[in-house]
Amino acid sequence: MTPVPIYQIDAFTQRVFGGNPAALVPLESWLPDAQLQSISAENNLSETVFLVRSEGTDADFAMRWFTPTHEVELCGHATLASAWWLFHHGGWAAESVTFDTQSGVLSAQRYGSQVEIDLPSRPSEPDMSARDELAAALGCAPTEVRRGANWIAVFDDESSVRTLNPDFRALAALHPLGVIVTAPGEQVDIVSRYFAPSFGIDEDPVTGSAHADLAPYWSARLNKDQLSARQLSARGGELELHFDAQRVKLRGDCRLFLRGEILLP
């Protein structure tokens, strides 16, 4: 059997068992896609991220993300976790690191004990066509619906988001997009939850990529380019956002939960 290192890192949190866990698998070279997907399904976390050292490109590493059922084009928390591990445990001495991904080259830099990652902004447009279906699946009617990389269902207050009890099968049947629910926060600028049952994730604990969708909307609505955010999942997570029209910078902390080996046949 061939041993492959694996790490499990809780992202967007200052404590183990908080935030969003990501599995990180650094590789010397790419495994077959089917094997990457099988490892991700076996981990059964919202994302497993794979890293290979880049040569002859502008990025330091090539990066790919997989849910238990699909490869995805953008994942914030696993990117944060990867950079944090490189800075704190992987021997990466530089102040920044870059990743070549399906969403272009992403960068991360040290920010004290935290890490700041740079993601593409993903604007959305008003689209009320699925309001009734979303209301039925979520159990509560949003005041506004938008569509971009995900559906965004906007509510009036934090309590409405916190108490939602969605029908995940109905959400999965709605459309092969994730569903972000969001509202103004009581102690932070914005709160949210994220549901993606069609990608094998009923509710994601803390979703960096969803905040690439939320930042342009809330920055315009609140007339602020610096936003504090909280994701209201059972594990919960805290994020600091900076929006500059084309990019969204997310800042957070991580904690290493597990290190081990995968024994590949």
Q: Which residues are catalytic?
A: 47
3-state secondary structure 198-213: HHCEEEECCCHHHHHH
Phi, psi of 110 (to 5 degrees): -65, 140
Classify 174 as helix, strand or coil. Answer: helix
Q: How many CB atoms lie within 10 A of CB 144?
A: 16
In angstroms, rounded to a whole number, what is the distance separating the alpha carbons of residues 178 and 201?
9
Q: By the 8 A CB rule, do 29 and 2 touch?
A: no
Classify 33 as helix, strand or coil. Answer: helix
Q: By the 8 A CB rule, do 243 and 121 touch?
A: yes
- Candidates 149, 168, 142, 253; CA nearest to 209 is 149
